[in-house]
Structure 1
Amino acid sequence: MSEAAAVLRSQSRMIVTSGHKDLGPLEFTGRIGGGLRADLKRRAPFYASDWTDAFRPENMQKSASIILYLFIAALAPAITFGSRFLDGTNGQFGVLEMIMSTAISGVLFSTFSGQPLSILGATGPFLAYTLVVYDLGIAMKLEFMPLYFWTCMWCAFITICVALFDLCALMKHVTMFSEDIFAGLISLIFIIDGIRPIIQNFSDGWFGGTSSMSLMSAMFEALLFFYTFGLAIYLSHFRRTPWLLRPLRNLFANFAVTISLVTASALAAIYKTETNLRMLNVEAELAPALTLSTGAKRPWIVNPMGIETEFPWWGIVFAILPAVGFAVLGYLDQNLTSVIVNRPSNNLKKGPGYHLDLFVRGALTLPVCAILGLPLSVASTVPSITHVISLTTYEVQQLPQGERKVPVKVVEQRATNFLIHVLIGCALLLAPVLKFLPRSVLQGVFFYMGIASLTGNNLFDRLFLWLVWEPKNYPAYTYIQKLPVKRVHLYTFVQLICLAILYGLKAIKETSVVFPFFMASLAIIRKALRFMFTAEELKYLDSYPDADEEDALEPQPDLENLPEEPKVAEAETAQKHTDI
């Protein structure tokens, strides 16, 4: 069982207090809304302190630094995802809508959720499935915005039902087998969608009969792409170099993506007149991206019965199908991130609120996105983990194998999350500046996010073993020491086949609507592996060692300056459930 699954198991156990049993946060209560009421009861006593703890004198500096850092760290992906939404939906919504979605959803979630340390934003699967809904609308000859409205509203209804009927408890059946495949899908979406336009530039130039000027532009866009990616990779590891002072190294590492994006855009501006670069398409004024046939912009409030044409009644019923897919994706993304945030090793004291988190999404954030016609936001793993780590104070414990930092205090509160998303909303005023961002630079950021998300994914760790021909050169993983190498490779091959099927279902338009359901079926496939592998083999291949065993097996290095600085490197290592 994976670390997340172990957390789920421990959180779902009965807790015996004062002679009676209290159901855990991930246990079926047998009552409608039982888990939701338990979440409210658990979090209500801390609601006032959630707003004041960030501003205590001992926490002020830490809170201020993380607000600024995560504002930049969340804004860059919002811009990048917005450009991908703009291209994939043929201008139905774009950068401004993505920024607005992140800001509004984050403010609502930080105010009312059960675990306000989770940071909301766009993720790869939601991007992919939104494009699926757009293709469905084209195929069924339905106007996209009304179809999207009803899809989101049905998804909101399903999500509320999931929260009311304690269905978060089903997460106990999701193990690392499914988690690594899900994370692998996210990585592939980022990597392939990031580099595909760069390759298409050259194919269009050489085989499309375009001029030499277009080929020069393609080469310059490729240069900007690799410059952005390469600099982001280098700076993200800059804290491990001996250069400069430690605070400067941490600064460059924490703002690696932002520095890469700004410097690449400046380089593009220098040579803009000599090349025909594709720039980000952003309206100078605060208006929706969609231009109607009349030449006017669509209204901000979506008419559910049609904007330019009448929306048929059967389209409302048809929207249930993609809504179920969105609900499945939201369930997995939200809960996997919440599991990581709430794991016991983080030493949180105020308790989780799984059902309340989903209820807030269903009752507040999803309807708002539907009404305004905005892309959907969900808990994003890496920013959420970074948020927790940066608000944590650690003490160093000496172990026989080395030092390990143990959390002793976490500033659990809502204010930093709330102010991060308020600042993201204020970034809408930067719309006139955003149009100077080259698309190739954003594609470089997208590609970097995909490569970075490979870190900590056990499926890809085991895939890299296929490139090592001498078994004696294998890393000292526990399953390598305990199991025959052929059994390890067989397990990896099964996961790889599942990942290939999942990506294929997403990539083929005729089957893309069902890929969330195959993703949900991975838990069933994992149970079927009991007929292919022994219980001992699955114990090592689909689990982490317990905490005590982990301390004995793995030396814990001293992570540099962890109490004071957001640790992006550790967050990347922890993102076995990533979802940017």
Structure 2
Amino acid sequence: VADKMLSRQSEETELQPELREHLASLLLLQPWHQLTKSPLQLLAELSLYPCRGRHGIPWAVPPGIPPFICSSAASLSFQLRNRFQKKVPPGAEAAHIAVGEVKFLEKPFTAFIRLRRAVTLGSLAEVPLPSRFLFVLLGPRGKARTYREVGRAMATLLADELFQRAARQAEHGEDLIAAMEAFLDELTVLPPGKWDPSARIPPPSCLPAPRATGHPHSNGDVVAAGDRAGPGHPCSGEELERTGRLFGGLLRDIRRKARWYRSDFSDALHPQCLSAVLYIYLATATNAITFGGMLGDATGSMQGVLESFLGTAFAGSIFCLFSGQPLTILSSTGPVLVFERLLFSFSQDHSLDYLEFRLWIGLWVAFFGVVLVATEASHLVRYFTRFTEEGFCALISLIFIHDSLKKMLSLADTFPINRRYRLDHVTSYSCVCNASAGNTSLPAPGQAQPLLPAGGWGRAARAGPPPPPAPQPPAPPAALSRSRCLAQGGHLAGSGCQFVPDVTLLSVLLFGGTFLSCTALRRFRSSRYFPTGVRKVVSDFAVILAILASCAIDATLGLETPKLLVPSELKPTNPARGWIISPFGANPWWVCLVSVVPAILVTILIFMDQQITAVILNRREYKLQKGAGFHLDFLCVSLLVAVTSVTGLPWYVSTTVISLAHMESLRKESATSAPGEPPEFLGIREQRLTGLAVFILTGVSVFMAPVLKHIPMPVLYGVFLHMGVAALNSIQLTDRVRLLLIPAKHQPDLPYLRHVPLRRVNLFTTLQLLCLVLLWVIKSTAAAVMFPVMV
């Protein structure tokens, strides 16, 4: 390259042999780059070479070989260890600009070199990147500042994609000059004295479209620089176009997802997926316990916590294996719970068998679902607007926030706060057991102590090892424990009998601490502390670290906070039922025909609930690359309704908040952002393994009860609050609500504010809020079963 640069000078600027030799020696000198080694490496080198007065260690150069050529191989190892390489995006090329002043030149020497193909030029760059363009400017002494400014201008030109394209196609120097003039015509110049920091500079109205440049993704895909919307991309709406054939949309979904099926498992081999599994598993298990308990109350224990766990594990695993969007998390939902309560009440009032009646409804729902899939009814969801999606997502998020706060406040009823406790009256508190005469002769356990000694509220002494077996005298009533006293028919008397440790206050602290820890650790990725790798790991495992820290605090303090209770036996909650429901026998024959009417209502309910969630999860801003599967997802949900009806398990449909939390935990961000710049969002790690692992763990939770019982419920309520707040912050409605409270001069530079007047934006937001209030009122009444239809 240096020989061609020196030999292809014009006749007017032809170099003298001696001058050419000086320039050749200068151009082939070994380049020195800024030190990018870690402090430990620098300390190690200082210990080995304590007296270094030069840039490097002298070494012999074979005669006749330029130093640059000889040192290339040695420098490549240093290039590979350069941490700056992590910040370079894949597919990037290096452009070399060399400017300076020398004493042996009388006039400037300039050269612009373009290589036919990009190649790596040894250690010329800090990192081993292919190079295509080189620019050299050398001149006499006295004009170093001018040369540096010319180099900066050339660097700005080479950083522009349009100029790069013109430089690749240029055949003469005049073509480069024309490209520079075109660049200057489109350039926006800001005088430093006239620049207004508060002014919004709109983008140019007419700009040549840059060439689409893609780079290989980690899973083999090609990710464009911006949001693409072409055929086959999830943003193009191709999944919702009608084919006009029976099951045409379903077959197209199957063909689209079949080619990604193998990568759906290989793409999950990443540490981030492990944190997502643990996070979503705890959320799913808590949700199964919550809805299982409410189902047990609503159905007379015909369905309970164990059925909720087994149903979640079975339905979720099948859905993750065969669905079109495996990132979706299935769960019981509020409208389905309301329908179950109404159906059980109707069955009780008309002396019908609830599970058999429910079985026929589930079979009809599966039939209607198959009909909707065959007729491609899912294409109707393309008419769902942002108004509908945000209203649905906001309501579900608010329900999560409301329920988590409600559960926390309800702890005050079970563990009341001791408002009347006074330290000065500590000697007056006592509690004794008044047992019947026939029970006082029963021996008490060796460790039994009075609940509160008459001497006060002091800390009880720890029980020692049990004494050897020996005849015990009859235990006085005061020596019986509370549970023993009540079991023997006695009753407690005294001012200290109603004392409960401050469990509620500790639960509130665990609840708030878990929520704040999750939020703070999630944002730790963009902080300025610790290296990038540490920040990334902490952010990925934020929820798990918050849960472990809260559990450690709870175990250290030792108060009896409410814990996660998981069924430990595989048997139906109600012993009167079995695992397979018979369709005939208990109810009249006409029940199978009458079931069509409620089945139509449930079909509409499940269709709206499932498809609105699917639309939210497949929004353009998530940059999904593997496509959606609306028809395939609804078919899986419909068939699962039939199977769970036969086995007497709850019905399941997509849950919005937990699914959004699942996707949020699998976010991919660029590792090549410059220091100080926020990382670029690259998309979601699309795979099936995390959801499958979550539901398998949910199924085996029955065997992990000894471990799970150490997790306090307030900690899981804090995780629920975090998921609700995170889902609420992910929608545009939240930003527009903030605009109602921010003066116009302090409002952020949002894209839609440049095109829509602020008054119209506020009117749109107000209408959404009014509809949201109406939906909340409907949700709080018996008409909640119609909630998805009202959306």
* CA-to-aligned-CA distance 1:183-234 (integer Å, 9 cap, x gap): 1011111010110122234478489999863583322322222122222222
* CA-to-aligned-CA distance 1:247-300 (integer Å, 9 cap, x gap): 33222222222232333234334445x44x333332223344x2x3xxx48533
Corresponding residue for residue 243 of structure 1? 529
Residue 218 of structure 1 pairs with residue 504 of structure 2: yes
Corresponding residue for residue 341 of structure 2? 135
Residue 121 of structure 1 aligns to which amino acid in structure 2?
Answer: L
Residue 761 of structure 2 aligns to which amino acid in structure 1?
Answer: V
What displacement does 1:426 show? Answer: 4.2
Q: Which moves more between the two structures, 321-330 or 69-78?
A: 321-330
Residue 376 of structure 1 pairs with residue 652 of structure 2: yes
Corresponding residue for residue 33 of structure 1? 247
What displacement does 1:472 show? Answer: 0.5
Alpha-carbon contact 1:224-1:441 (below 8 Å) kept = yes
Q: 1:81 to 1:424 in 2, by over 3 A?
A: closer
> Greater share of helix residues, 1 or 2?
1
Q: 1:306 to 1:334 in 2, by over 3 A?
A: farther
Partners of 1:250 and 1:306 in 2: CA distance: 59
- The TM-score normalised by the length of structure 2 is 0.53
Corresponding residue for residue 724 of structure 2? 450
What displacement does 1:146 show? Answer: 4.6
Residue 385 of structure 1 pairs with residue 385 of structure 2: no
Partners of 1:32 and 1:358 in 2: CA distance: 15
Corresponding residue for residue 261 of structure 2? 50
Secondary structure at the aligned position of 1:454 is classed as helix
Corresponding residue for residue 283 of structure 1? 567
Secondary structure at the aligned position of 2:240 is classed as coil
Q: 1:193 to 1:248 in 2, by over 3 A?
A: same
Corresponding residue for residue 324 of structure 1? 604
Higher gyration radius (CA)? 2
What displacement does 1:386 show? Answer: 4.7
What displacement does 1:329 show? Answer: 0.9
- Correspondent of 2:736 among 451, 462, 472: 462
- Correspondent of 1:69 among 275, 280, 287: 275
* CA-to-aligned-CA distance 1:335-392 (integer Å, 9 cap, x gap): 432x33x8894444xx5433222222222x33333333145143754255358745xx
Alpha-carbon contact 1:102-1:377 (below 8 Å) kept = no
Matches within 5 A, 1:253-272: 253-272=539-558
Alpha-carbon contact 1:101-1:377 (below 8 Å) kept = no
Matches within 5 A, 1:77-476: 77-90=283-296, 92=301, 93=303, 96-116=306-326, 118-122=327-331, 126-142=332-348, 145-146=355-356, 148-202=358-412, 205=416, 213-214=499-500, 216-272=502-558, 274-275=559-560, 277-288=561-572, 290=573, 292=574, 296=575, 298-303=577-582, 313=591, 316-317=595-596, 319-320=598-599, 321-337=601-617, 339-340=618-619, 345-348=623-626, 351-363=627-639, 365-372=640-647, 373-378=649-654, 381-382=659-660, 385-386=663-664, 389-390=667-668, 404=680, 414=688, 418=692, 421-468=695-742, 470-476=743-749
Partners of 1:456 and 1:75 in 2: CA distance: 21
**Alignment size in residue pairs:** 473
Alpha-carbon contact 1:71-1:423 (below 8 Å) kept = no
What displacement does 1:36 show? Answer: 1.7
Q: 1:207 to 1:327 in 2, by over 3 A?
A: farther
Alpha-carbon contact 2:661-2:723 (below 8 Å) kept = no
What displacement does 1:442 show? Answer: 2.1
Alpha-carbon contact 1:100-1:428 (below 8 Å) kept = no
Residue 279 of structure 1 aligns to which amino acid in structure 2?
Answer: K
* CA-to-aligned-CA distance 1:400-421 (integer Å, 9 cap, x gap): x9985667xx987655654554
Partners of 1:280 and 1:371 in 2: CA distance: 29
Partners of 1:187 and 1:332 in 2: CA distance: 14
Q: 1:250 to 1:418 in 2, by over 3 A?
A: same
Alpha-carbon contact 2:307-2:650 (below 8 Å) kept = yes
Alpha-carbon contact 1:280-1:437 (below 8 Å) kept = yes
What displacement does 1:67 show? Answer: 4.2
Alpha-carbon contact 1:79-1:98 (below 8 Å) kept = no
Q: Identity over the aligned pairs, expressed in percent?
A: 26
Q: Which has the higher contact order (CA 8 A, sep 6+)?
A: 1
* CA-to-aligned-CA distance 1:301-333 (integer Å, 9 cap, x gap): 3455699x9999277345423443123212322
What displacement does 1:449 show? Answer: 1.2
Alpha-carbon contact 1:110-1:418 (below 8 Å) kept = yes
Partners of 2:695 and 2:370 in 1: CA distance: 24
Secondary structure at the aligned position of 1:502 is classed as helix
Q: 1:133 to 1:269 in 2, by over 3 A?
A: farther
Alpha-carbon contact 1:111-1:414 (below 8 Å) kept = yes
Alpha-carbon contact 2:418-2:500 (below 8 Å) kept = no
Partners of 2:774 and 2:753 in 1: CA distance: 27
Alpha-carbon contact 1:224-1:264 (below 8 Å) kept = yes
Which stretches in structure 2 are left out of the alignment for 5+ residues?
Answer: 1-226, 421-495
Q: 1:358 to 1:376 in 2, by over 3 A?
A: same
Q: 1:141 to 1:425 in 2, by over 3 A?
A: closer
Residue 504 of structure 1 pairs with residue 777 of structure 2: yes
Q: 1:241 to 1:203 in 2, by over 3 A?
A: same
Partners of 1:207 and 1:144 in 2: CA distance: 44
Alignment RMSD: 4.0
What displacement does 1:164 show? Answer: 1.1
Partners of 2:389 and 2:557 in 1: CA distance: 44
Secondary structure at the aligned position of 1:79 is classed as helix
Q: 1:203 to 1:285 in 2, by over 3 A?
A: closer
Residue 770 of structure 2 aligns to which amino acid in structure 1?
Answer: I
